[in-house]
Amino acid sequence: MSEKHDFTDIQEVAVLGGSVDNNGLTSQSVKICSVIELGEQDIAVRDDSGYSTQIFIVPKSICIPISITQSQLEDAVLEPRTGDLVFSMQKKDWKSKESKSFVGILWEIEYEMGQPAHAHILIDNKIQKIRYENMMVLQRCNKKDNT
């Protein structure tokens, strides 16, 4: 990694890994570790993700510092509104093994017990009912009366 990070006062890092074969990088992985000590080019980290704690010395070049502020923790997802272009990924029903993705225009929102429960999105001139919680706004509708 060519990017230089400042690890001062960092308590946790994401340590990058992966697999390499004759064709190059074939997969990527990441582990979240606690910082024990900073060296000039390396970091001593503790990995608590397994059955027992392990200590590793890893190059700073494969580490990304993890730091979050209170305001970041308090951020909320963008609430979808009718007319927005939305994305959703969900299983057809509880028995389905595969998830299916949908992209369409949010047409209608159903409320249950005072909360949004389902959405109807327009996809290729057909309405598809999806769970509201699985939606993400791809592009906000810029209608004047849709604030």
Query: Which structural domain, as residue segments, surrounds residue 131?
Result: 85-139
How high is the pLDDT of residue 145?
55
Residue 61 and residue 89 in one domain? no
Domain-located, residue 2: no
> How far is it between the farthest Cα atoms of the chain?
60
- Number of folded domains that form the chain: 2
138 C-beta neighbours (distance < 10 Å), count? 13
pLDDT digits (tens, 9 = 90+) for 15-63: 999 999 998 888 999 999 999 999 999 999 999 988 999 999 999 999 9
Q: Using 50, 70 and 90 to split pLDDT, how confident is the model at 1?
A: very low
CATH of the domain at 120: 2.30.30
Domain-located, residue 147: no
pLDDT at 112 over 60: yes
Give the residue-averaged pLDDT of 124-133. Answer: 92
How high is the pLDDT of residue 31?
95
Residue 90 and residue 134 in one domain? yes
Structure tokens at 31: 């582990």
Give the residue-averaged pLDDT of 83-110. Answer: 89
Question: What is the SS3 assignment for 38?
Answer: strand
Computed over every residue of the chain, the mean pLDDT equals: 90
d(CA 64, CA 52): 23
The amino acid present at 104, given as its one-letter code, is G
How high is the pLDDT of residue 3?
62
Instruction: Give the residue carrying structure tokens 């909320």.
Output: 76
Domain-located, residue 5: no
End-to-end CA distance of the chain: 42
Domain-located, residue 93: yes
The amino acid present at 134, given as its one-letter code, is N
Domain-located, residue 59: yes
Q: Is the pTM of this model over 0.75?
A: no
Residue 64 and residue 105 in one domain? no
pLDDT at 147 over 60: no
How high is the pLDDT of residue 113?
94
Residue 16 and residue 50 in one domain? yes
pLDDT at 144 over 70: no
Give the residue-averaged pLDDT of 98-125. Answer: 94
CA–CA distance from 73 to each of 32, 118, 129 (Å)? 18, 26, 31
pLDDT over 70 for what percent of the chain?
95
Residue 21 and residue 67 in one domain? yes
Residue 17 and residue 69 in one domain? yes
